Structure formats: structure tokens, C-alpha cells
Amino acid sequence: MKAREALTMTIAAPAVLSRQKNFSANPVLGSESFNARGLHRWRVDRAHAMSRRRREGLAANVDAAEREAFERDGYVVRENALPQPLFEAFTAELKEQRRKAWEMVQGDTATRLMPLPVSDGSAGAKVRAYLRSPSFRNLTGYVAGRSGGYNPVLQTVAVQPDPSRPDPQVTLHADTFHPTAKFWLFLHDVGIEDGPFAFVPGSHRLTPQRLAWEHEQALKATGVGNEHHAAGSFRMTEEELEALGYDRPIQPLPVKANTFLVADTYGFHRRTPALKPNARVAIHGMLRRNPFLPWNGADPSEIPGVDGRLIWLLFASRDAKARMGKPDKYRSVGLKLAGDPSIG
């Protein structure tokens, strides 16, 4: 091995014990030789084992019925999640208040994100605080396999169905190689025709068949011509599910307004294809921490003075990259109403 190549591999090696998942961006994680020896398989197995131990430490603080639902299905649905007066105040505020927005367009679908205010006394700030209260934090941490901080944002998914421009998110996939949580608090009813979130119940569990499949995918991750696969978000087909030990069909999850849904997106999931144009609005959040560290909590992102600002810094960095000619997948689209169905 040449000296320069050896240095590159040495610099890339710490990613093995991190949450990094991108095979194409890291020569160690994407090494066919290392993965043939079981590197990815080891990462998956160890990450899940540690997540199970951390969940044991969180279990007592999670509602027993919700814990049972998660263990069975891989997701939890909580209706009437916000107190009704707060829900009504927030939805009324959204009809009047324009917010700074960033959008990503994939196929026929645009995903718009708007950071929520932190402490300005608005209904949005109160909703953000409510979603970070112990009941939600404990459940989200349990689902993620490690508790910590998260920054809820407004998310609008605007779709104009067009078979010639398919949305890649309607393909069945797992987000990463270890347990991780994503949640949505839906502000409107979402019916089957709107394209709701869908999940394969039980697919959050690591079966022997799934572990073998993970190994096989790692060996060819950068050679299948799929950028999502190469980035560590493995795609698969519905027909493969039973072979991995998952014998329950994909479950679309239409919801009522004011429903909180949190899922371990190591489990296979997708958007259901929408049957009509629509723009659905939710508060969205994600909790994805290093799966190899043994403790819960103690999240640097929650240090006073840092908490609440990271999401704004993230979008500011995206704007800075765009000004330098290196646009991010999310681009600034100025001030918008959350329910605006237009794209761009």
C-alpha cells in the first residue's frame, strides 16, 4: 500500500466507530476487502447489541403500551398528541405567518423545511418545547436506541403525482445501519390518497437473515449504480422481505390531524405513492447518534447556548455552500407559508 493511500485509510478509519454510513465517501467503510472480512456485518451487529442495552436503561420511563407497540411493530402512533388549545393556536398561526424555508426536490415531490422558533413566545416555540418534554423525549430516545437532543422543524411534503418523475422515497429502504428515530406530528389528516408514511412491521429487528443480507449489500454497495444505496441507505424490494424473516406486509399509516408517529427507520419504510396533488404539513424530527457509545443522554447539542441554534447553523452553512457554487440538496426559497403547495 502506498504511503498516501495508507494515510488516507488511517484518517478514514475512526468512522468505523461512528454513525457514518456512506460507503462511497469513506474508503474504509466502502472497502470491498474489509467488508468481505465482515466489517459492515460487525458494525451492524455491535450497533444493535448496544442499542438493546441502552433501551433497557430507558424502558422504565416509557409507557408500557407504547413500549409494547414499538417492540412488536417498530413504530408508535400517539393520537391527540398536543393539547387541543395549543394545537389550534399553532395551526392558526401557520396560516398567517411566513417562515424562512429550504426545499429539496426529488422526482415529483418537494420537501420543505422550516426551523421552529425557540423562545419568542409564539405558538411554534411552545410546540417545540412540548415536543421536547420528557414524555416525547423518552419515547423518541427509546425508539432511537439512544436518548439525546433533537430539533423539530416544520416539514411540508408537496407532491404533484407524475409517473415519469418518480419520488425515490417511495422505494422501500432503510435509512442507515443502526437503530435511529424519525418522528412526525401531523397537522392535517393524511389519507391513503395523500401518500402517507408506510412501514414494514417488525423490520426494525435484526434477524440472522437481515444480518447476512446487510453483509451482501455492503459487498456491492458502490457498484449497483444507486446513489442512495452507495450512501448507506439500502434499497430493497417487497418480494425480498419474507426471505429476511419479515412476514408482515407493508403497512400504510394514514393518520388524523394531531397524531404523533415515531419509527425506528432502520426498519424498512417508504412514502406511499400519492394519488392526487397535495401538500401535507407536519412537525418533523430525527434522533440519530453514534450507536457505539454506551451511554444515554449527555448530548453536546443540548449545551446551553448551542441548543436551538444548530439547525439554523446547518441551513446557514447550506446557503454559504450555495454562494460558493457548491449547492446543497436543500436550497433556500425565501419566506413561505407552511401549507403553500407551490414548489420553488
pLDDT in tens, 91-111: 999 999 999 999 999 999 999
Given a cut of 60, whether residue 56 has pLDDT beyond it is yes
Residue 115: is its pLDDT beyond 60? yes
- Is the pLDDT at 296 greater than 70, yes or no? yes
> Residue 178: inside a domain, yes or no?
yes
Q: Facing residues of 182 across strands?
A: 263, 286
Q: Which residues contact residue 52 at a Cβ distance below 8 angstroms, ignoring those fewer than 6 apart?
A: 145
Band of the pLDDT at 5, cuts 50, 70, 90? confident
- How many structural domains does the chain have? 1
Burial class of residue 157 in the structure, from the number of CB atoms within 10 Å of its CB (0-12 exposed, 13-18 middle, 19+ buried):
buried
Residues 6+ apart with CB under 8 A from 40: 29, 177, 214, 215, 217, 218
**Would residue 307 count as lying in a domain?**
no
pLDDT for 341 equals 83
- Does 186 map to a domain? yes
Give me the pLDDT at residue 1, please.
55
pLDDT > 70? residue 291: yes
Does the residue 104 lie in any domain?
no
The answer as to whether 253 is a domain residue is yes
**Which pLDDT score, from 0 to 100, does residue 259 have?**
98
Is residue 23 situated within a structural domain?
Answer: yes
Residue 309 within a domain: no
Lowest mean pLDDT, pick from 13-27, 79-93, 186-200, 310-324: 310-324
pLDDT tens for 122-139 read 999 999 999 999 999 999
- The count of C-alpha atoms lying within 13 angstroms of the C-alpha of 273, restricted to the half-sphere facing its C-beta, is 11
Question: Which cell numbers hold the place of 170?
Answer: 417511495
Question: What pLDDT shows up at residue 104?
Answer: 95
Cell triple for 64:
408500557
Q: What is the pLDDT of residue 7?
A: 87
CA distance 319 to 11: 28
| 171: CATH | 2.60.120
Q: What's the CA gap between 193 and 208, in Å, rounded?
A: 36
Q: Provide the pLDDT for residue 342.
A: 80
Q: Write out pLDDT tens, residues 299-340.
A: 999 998 888 888 999 999 999 999 999 888 999 999 999 998
Residue 143 in this model has a pLDDT that exceeds 70: yes
Residue 119 clears pLDDT 90, i.e. is over it: no
* Residue 49 burial (C-beta neighbours within 10 Å; 0-12, 13-18, 19+): exposed
What is the tens place of the pLDDT at every residue in 245-287? 999 999 999 999 999 999 999 999 999 999 999 999 999 999 9
What is d(CA 310, CA 152) in angstroms, rounded to the nearest whole number?
A: 11
Q: Answer whether residue 21 is part of any domain.
A: yes
Mean pLDDT of 15-39: 96
Domain range spanning residue 25? 3-93+123-289
Share of the chain above pLDDT 70, in %: 99
Long-range contacts (CB closer than 8 Å, 24 or more residues apart) made by 61-66:
61/134, 61/138, 61/142, 62/138, 62/139, 62/142, 63/135, 63/139, 66/139
